[in-house]
Structure 1
Amino acid sequence: MWFGAAATTLLLTLLVAWAVLGYYRRELASAQDALQRYEDAIPVVQAFHASDAVICGGRICTNADPAGQQAGDRQQYRQARPRP
């Protein structure tokens, strides 16, 4: 009788520990995904901050540099001037 109660208690303890571990593993994976998204956004934010650009009407407006570097398959994009 005592052996059965001890085995049942151990089994329930292991089951709860397994469930808690699974929960924390999912939470950790979610936090790592969010951190990766933030780290991927850092270069974009740094480039926006370094450029003479503002948000206007839900879009980005820049003060384009005529002598700036060009990009795109048809060279249609031009580098913005640096912030003063």
Structure 2
Amino acid sequence: MNVSELLGPGADRSGAITAGNTAQQLAPANPSRRSLTFQNISAADLWINPHGNPAGIDTAGSYKLVSGAFYQVQTNKAVSVIGATTGQKFTATEV
């Protein structure tokens, strides 16, 4: 049995920044979540906050993800993301 068979297909949380310099929800709080995997597929930096607070650029509690970077976290809290420019894309899966 491979990992995807154990975890299931997961929920696609991929998207794009809807308003530059404004935090947006990536995934709501979920007591059943085992992990969230995120990749920045835009050309510019994105910031992610897995602590249930709004993400902020250069803000404590938010993690900077350069273009191409992956991030995986095990949290059941709400997760938010922010980027400087509207349209920045990301890929994310919640299992």
- When normalised by structure 2's length, the TM-score is 0.23
Q: Would you tell me which structure has more strand in proportion to its own residues?
A: 2
Greater relative contact order (CA < 8 Å, ≥ 6 in sequence): 2
Q: Is the radius of gyration larger for structure 1 or structure 2?
A: 1
- When normalised by structure 1's length, the TM-score is 0.25
